[in-house]
């Protein structure tokens, strides 16, 4: 079923919307959740919460790209679940490892100035990635946005894990230098 028709079902408050969404996007959303949570049960719960969040948010929102909208909801819900779970000191996931790797070039502080500059930082990172090769950009996005393991990201980029690890390291160093030139203090 086309995404526009699924969104119309949500807008018409038709309960088939959730079933159609699950049929089309369940594997995609589960993969996003599992990469963050590294736990099947928590991933299923996050995906189910995504369906509820989609139901509650449409209307008034009418997403232009349903897959991106659902993916964003899943990421946010899964990250919230991860944060709650890590307070209990459970096993790390791809999300934790990704944050640790990026910690060298992007701080995770909560000062007012950093909160205000989040949009500027996101724009700067986006501009930096547009300047990178397709190979480096796709690997970086796969690893740090979709939170794929190093092995998975290397596989779909058609390179060895060691090459991927090296490329990510060089890209993080270049990102740090780029952000410093743009005036971000790291």
Q: What would the pLDDT profile of 85-105 be if each residue is shown by its tens digit?
A: 766 554 556 666 666 676 666
Distances (CA, A) of 124 to 73, 146, 178, 181, 183: 23, 19, 8, 11, 10
Name the architecture of domain 96-181.
Orthogonal Bundle (1.10)
What CA–CA distance (Å, rounded) separates 130 from 163?
21
pLDDT of residue 29: 95
pLDDT of residue 176: 92
Res. 83 pLDDT band, cuts 50 70 90:
confident
Residues contacting 3, CB < 8 A, separation 6+? 65, 66, 67
Place of tokens 């910690």: 103
For 1-43, write each residue's pLDDT tens digit.
Answer: 899 999 999 999 999 999 999 999 999 999 999 988 888 999 9
Per-domain residue ranges of the chain: 3-86, 96-181
**From the CB of residue 181, how many other CB atoms can be counted at a distance below 10 Å?**
10
What CA–CA distance (Å, rounded) separates 10 from 124?
35
Res. 109 pLDDT band, cuts 50 70 90:
low
Residues contacting 125, CB < 8 A, separation 6+? 106, 175, 179
Instruction: Concatenate the DSSP letters of all residues of 98-152 into one string.
Output: HHHHHTTTS-----HHHHHTHHHHHHHHHHHHHTS-HHHHHHHHHHHTS---HHH
pTM of model > 0.95: no
Q: What is the CATH code for 3-86? A: 1.10.1740.10
Q: What is the mean pLDDT of residues 141-156?
A: 88
């Amino acid at each position: 079923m086309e995404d526009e028709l699924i969104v119309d079902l949500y807008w018409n408050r038709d309960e088939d919307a959730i079933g159609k969404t699950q049929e089309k996007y369940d594997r995609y959303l589960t993969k996003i959740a599992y990469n963050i949570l590294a736990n099947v049960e928590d991933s299923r719960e996050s995906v189910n919460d995504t369906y509820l969040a989609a139901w509650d948010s449409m209307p008034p929102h009418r997403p232009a790209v349903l897959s991106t909208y659902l993916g964003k909801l899943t990421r946010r819900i899964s990250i919230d679940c991860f944060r709650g779970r890590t307070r209990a000191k459970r096993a790390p996931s791809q999300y934790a490892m990704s944050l640790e790797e990026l910690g060298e070039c992007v701080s995770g502080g909560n000062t007012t100035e950093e909160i205000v500059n989040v949009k500027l930082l996101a724009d700067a990172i986006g501009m930096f990635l547009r300047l990178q090769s397709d190979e480096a950009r796709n690997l970086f996005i796969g690893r740090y946005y979709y939170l794929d393991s190093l092995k998975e990201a290397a596989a779909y980029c058609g390179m060895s894990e060691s090459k991927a690890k090296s490329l990510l390291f060089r890209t993080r160093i270049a990102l740090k230098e780029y952000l410093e030139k743009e005036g971000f203090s790291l």
